[in-house]
Structure 1
């Protein structure tokens, strides 16, 4: 897909899980040449990682410039996300909570 947006805005977001734990994520969204957000609903690419959500900033612009949102989420108990990290234990439920949260947001067209 060709590049259709000039720039990308990155913002930190808090995402509540089914049990009240808050996870942290970076949302990358399209911006114009002046760095102003471009309104509209778009599909969202979700990346959940225990390795730090800042890593997504290196490649996120490639997707966002082509018409997607990118949500790069720290998994439970990692970096600034709340809770305790137990590999795999909460991934299914937390992934579901995150997808449901995305679908409720004004930036989302419901596709994740």
Structure 2
């Protein structure tokens, strides 16, 4: 009889050192941006004694922000928060013409 190994992590999001899902990509893009900014400023002639602490502080800020977002929102919560932010809080309508026009458009499309 053949025994097959069962993969128990099929539908789980990827995780690395506590970061889950899209936060790994955010961290990777942030680190790449820090590396590119360091190299551009180094080539531009900024003294290394100023550059290293600035990039270190920015890296620590990126690290703490991404971990805080990961723990606060979870895997898909940040996307839901951005989607919720995009919704209007209220829809204002001063006249009935807008509602009548909307109703007229839906009625005319239903008949065709």
The structure with more strand, counted as a fraction of residues? 1
Higher relative contact order (CA 8 A, sep 6+): 1
The structure with more helix, counted as a fraction of residues? 2
**TM-score, normalised with respect to structure 2:** 0.28
